[in-house]
Amino acid sequence: MIRSRSVSGEAVILDKDFLRQDIVPVLTQDICEHSLYDYIENQLHLTISFAKKQITVEAATEEDRRYLQMKNISDVVVVRSLVFLEDTRLFQFTESRHRADKFRFVDFARREHNND
């Protein structure tokens, strides 16, 4: 599944999703246009648990230029995600390609204190 995402009417993210067909056997245009995760959790009754992500900066491809409004931007931020179910089965690989000028990374980390 390939989707572009817009912010204020500008296409700034190109998402490429690959799903295991044995876990998510049917995808309709309606499901893809609304909420994939709502479908997975509420229709297929699967629990999405965690994701591993890798973030890199790469040269934009022709596909990036075709789907995103690149102007004079030569790089994209690429976020590759492996998404797992509660039973630890990998069910999704996503590559999100972000226009570098519109990308922002915000993280929150809490330190766990051991009181032993």
2-21+47-102, CATH topology level: Chorismate lyase (3.40.1410)
User: Using alpha carbons only, how large is the chain's radius of gyration in Å?
Assistant: 17
Q: What is the pLDDT of residues 32-68, one digit of tens each?
A: 888 899 999 999 999 999 999 999 999 999 999 989 9
- pLDDT tens digits along 17-36: 999 999 999 999 999 888 89
- Give me the DSSP letters along 41-85: IIIS---EEEEEEEEEEEEPPHHHHHHS--TT--EEEEEEEEEEE
Q: What does pTM read for this prediction?
A: 0.85
